[in-house]
Amino acid sequence: MTGEPHAAGLHARHKAVIPDWVSLYYRDPIEITHGEGRYVWDATGKRYLDFFGGILTTMTAHALPEVTKAVTEQAGRIIHSSTLYLNRSMVELAERVAHLSGIPDARVFFTTSGTEANDTALLLATAHRRSNQILAMRNSYHGRSFSAVSVTGNRAWSPTTFSPLQTLYVHGGVRSRGPYAHLSDARFIEACVADLEDLLGHTGDVAALIAEPVQGVGGFTSPPDGLYAAFREVLAPRGILWITDEVQTGWGRTGEHFWGWQAHAASGPPDILTFAKGIGNGMSVGGVVARAEVMNCLGANSISTFGGSPVTMAAGLANLSYLLEHDLQGNARRVGGLLLERLRAITASHPLVREVRGRGLMLGIELARPGSDEADPQAAAAVLEAAREGGLLIGKGGGHDTSALRVAPPLSLTVAEAEEGAAILERALHSI
Ligand SMILES: Cc1ncc(COP(=O)(O)O)c(C=O)c1O
DSSP of 412-431, one letter per residue? T--HHHHHHHHHHHHHHHHT
Alpha-carbon distance of 142 to 284, in angstroms, equals 16
CA angle 290, 233, 231 (to 5 degrees): 80
Residue 365 has pLDDT above 50, yes or no: yes
Which pLDDT does position 3 carry in this prediction? 45
Helices (H), 326-414: 328-347, 377-389
Alpha carbon nearest to ligand 1 atom 13, residue? 143
Which pLDDT does position 2 carry in this prediction? 44
Instruction: For ligand 1, say whether the CB of 284 is within 6 Å of any of its atoms.
Output: no
Q: pLDDT digits over 198-238, tens only?
A: 999 999 899 999 999 999 999 999 999 999 999 999 999 99
Which pLDDT does position 150 carry in this prediction? 97
Instruction: For ligand 1, say whether the CB of 227 is within 6 Å of any of its atoms.
Output: no
Host H or E run for residue 272: strand 272-275
Task: Give the number of the atom of ligand 1 that is nearest the alpha carbon of residue 249.
Answer: 1
Using alpha carbons, select from 124, 116, 90, 127 the residue that is nearest to residue 287.
Answer: 116
Mutate to test the pocket of ligand 1, among 52, 56, 110, 115 (most ligand atoms within 8 A of CB): 115
Q: pLDDT digits over 118-165, tens only?
A: 999 999 999 999 999 999 999 999 999 999 999 999 989 999 999 999
Q: pLDDT digits over 377-412, tens only?
A: 999 999 999 999 999 999 999 987 889 999 999 999
> What is 1-27 written as a DSSP string?
---HHHHHHHHHHHHHHS-TTS--SSS
* Gap from CA of 142 to ligand 1 centroid (Å): 6
Mutate to test the pocket of ligand 1, among 52, 247, 251, 396 (most ligand atoms within 8 A of CB): 247
Residue 273 has pLDDT above 70, yes or no: yes
Which pLDDT does position 8 carry in this prediction? 85
* Gap from CA of 237 to ligand 1 centroid (Å): 30
Alpha-carbon distance of 376 to 384, in angstroms, equals 13
- Give me the amino acid identity at 152: T
Which pLDDT does position 5 carry in this prediction? 55
Buried b (16+ CB within 10 A) or exposed e, 31-65: eeeebebbbbbbeeeeebbbbbbbebbbbbbbebe
In the β-sheet with 395-397, what is the strand arrangement from edge to edge? 353-359, 362-367, 404-407, 395-397
For residue 23, give every residue at least 6 positions away whose Cβ sits within 8 Å of its Cβ, in sequence order, or none. Answer: none
* Gap from CA of 283 to ligand 1 centroid (Å): 14
Task: Give the number of the atom of ligand 1 that is nearest the alpha carbon of residue 116.
Answer: 11
Instruction: For ligand 1, say whether the CB of 319 is within 6 Å of any of its atoms.
Output: no
Task: Give the number of the atom of ligand 1 that is nearest the alpha carbon of residue 284.
Answer: 10
Using alpha carbons, select from 216, 256, 40 the residue that is nearest to residue 114.
Answer: 216
Instruction: For ligand 1, say whether the CB of 274 is within 6 Å of any of its atoms.
Output: no
Instruction: For ligand 1, say whether the CB of 247 is within 6 Å of any of its atoms.
Output: yes
**What Cα–Cα distance (Å) separates residue 184 from each residue in 157, 189, 297?**
30, 9, 41
Instruction: Centre a 10 Å sphere on the Cβ of residue 316 and count the other Cβ atoms it contains.
Output: 27
Using alpha carbons, select from 411, 432, 26, 395 the residue that is nearest to residue 218.
Answer: 395
Buried b (16+ CB within 10 A) or exposed e, 335-358: bbbebbebbeebbeebebbbbbbb
Alpha-carbon distance of 173 to 221, in angstroms, equals 7
Which pLDDT does position 200 carry in this prediction? 97
Q: pLDDT digits over 287-316, tens only?
A: 999 999 999 999 999 999 999 999 999 999
Alpha-carbon distance of 115 to 151, in angstroms, equals 11
Instruction: For ligand 1, say whether the CB of 248 is within 6 Å of any of its atoms.
Output: yes
**Mean pLDDT, rounded, of the chain:** 96
Which pLDDT does position 7 carry in this prediction? 84
Alpha-carbon distance of 236 to 250, in angstroms, equals 23
Q: pLDDT digits over 39-75, tens only?
A: 999 999 999 999 999 999 999 999 999 999 999 999 9
* Gap from CA of 6 to ligand 1 centroid (Å): 31
- Enter the pTM of the model: 0.97
**What Cα–Cα distance (Å) separates residue 323 from each residue in 215, 253, 307, 396, 405?**
23, 11, 22, 26, 26
Q: Mean pLDDT throughout 5-21? A: 91
Alpha-carbon distance of 432 to 426, in angstroms, equals 11
Q: Decide: 157 and 217 in contact? Cβ < 8 Å.
A: yes
Q: Decide: 92 and 317 in contact? Cβ < 8 Å.
A: yes
Q: Decide: 242 and 235 in contact? Cβ < 8 Å.
A: yes
* Gap from CA of 30 to ligand 1 centroid (Å): 22
State phi, psi for 162 to the nearest 5 degrees: -65, 145
